[in-house]
Amino acid sequence: MIPAAFDYVRATSLDDALARLAAGGGSAKAIAGGQSLLPLMKLRLARPETLVDIGRLAELKGVRRLGDGRVSIGGLTTYDEMLRDMTLHRYGLLADALPNIGDVQVRNRGTIGGATAHADPASDMPAILLALDAEVVVRSVRGERAIPIAGFFQGAFASALEPDELITELRLPGGREDLGSAYRAIEQPASGYSIAGVAAIIGARSGDRWGFCSVAITGVGEHPYRATAVESAILGGASFEAAAAHACDGVTVASDIHADREYRAHVATVQVRRALEAAAARLA
């Protein structure tokens, strides 16, 4: 299968890439690892007129600690690079999820910026970013803005990103000693995409109450979402099992050949409970 013809430019710097995307006016698209875009182009579900290759922009690669204690992951950092990065090892939910995203070949090329921009409703990384309350730093010729992840995902393959904007960084909170986190998913066996994937962070326990709980779910709704009903049930003293029953509250649960609505909703509930249990176990 061969993509429709396009013009190709290899960006020489971030500014060069941004200028070319702006000049393309919506018909130009960035390509990073190509692990989502190329399959779509081969099926001709995507037909960009110009591809701007950002794959060599070293300034968008790597993980660093910011002055305020947060951790910044460059948009072009691959899953494989993230797996090897010691700074990220302490995020339990990343350690759980990263080795199971795609396969080695996909992780060698796929980037966190590409996964975030693509906004696949079953992608794993969006749930993790949501649970962590990450910040998406984007740039265009108009300048830089930081988008809170809470409003970033707006629908299937739809996000707050403008066509001429690039994700330069994902910023994660520094990680608190009194919180534990985990990621649990039931995957569709052929593709590895989540039927229901759950990122959970819990902790700050005082007496018999949890002081902090964050739960995000992918693969289930129209886009990955924070399961706020689960979170408030936990903070209100509910058991993991009872709270997990609220996994799909207010969400139109997806139904497809891999999992019908009822099964997917059930799996989401089970994964929420397991992710919460695993996150809590990491605290001990």
List residues binding other proteins (CB under 8 A): 1-8, 10, 31, 34-35, 38-39, 41-43, 51, 53, 55, 80, 99, 102-106, 108-109, 190-192
Q: Rule CB under 6 A: is residue 184 a binding residue for ligand FAD?
A: no
CB 12 within 8 A of CB 23: no
Q: Rule CB under 6 A: is residue 24 a binding residue for ligand FAD?
A: no
Which partner in other proteins, ligand FAD, none is near 118 (CB below 5 to 8 A by kind)? ligand FAD
Ranges of beta strands (E only) in 127-211 are 135-140, 143-148, 153-155, 158-159, 166-172, 179-187, 194-203
In angstroms, give the least distance from the CB of 63 to ligand FAD: 15
Looking at residue 205, the DSSP 8-state letter turns out to be: -
Q: Rule CB under 6 A: is residue 159 a binding residue for ligand FAD?
A: no
In angstroms, give the least distance from the CB of 168 to ligand FAD: 7
SS3 call for 197? strand
Q: Rule CB under 6 A: is residue 74 a binding residue for ligand FAD?
A: no
Other CB atoms within 10 Å distance of the CB of residue 192: 15
Separation between Cα atoms, residue 246 and residue 223, nearest integer Å: 17
* From candidates 41, 82, 98, 166, binder to ligand FAD by CB under 6 A: 166
Q: Which residue has the tokens 């609505």?
A: 261
CB 205 within 8 A of CB 197: no
Query: Which stretch, 82-90, 190-198, 221-229, 256-264, contacts ligand FAD (CB under 6 A)?
Result: 190-198
Calculate the alpha carbon distances from 112 to 13, 125, 171, 242, 247 in Å: 19, 7, 11, 33, 26
Which partner in other proteins, ligand FAD, none is near 169 (CB below 5 to 8 A by kind)? none
* From candidates 17, 71, 73, 101, binder to ligand FAD by CB under 6 A: 101
- 102 Cβ neighbours under 8 A, 6+ residues apart: 35, 79, 110, 192
Query: Which stretch, 117-125, 140-148, 222-230, 267-275, contacts ligand FAD (CB under 6 A)?
Result: 117-125
Separation between Cα atoms, residue 74 and residue 263, nearest integer Å: 37
Separation between Cα atoms, residue 102 and residue 33, nearest integer Å: 13
Site for ligand FAD in 32-71 (CB under 6 A): 32-37, 39
Site for ligand FAD in 119-148 (CB under 6 A): 123-125
Interacting residue ranges for ligand FAD, rule: CB under 6 A: 29-37, 39, 75, 101-102, 106, 109-111, 113-115, 117-118, 123-125, 166-167, 191-193
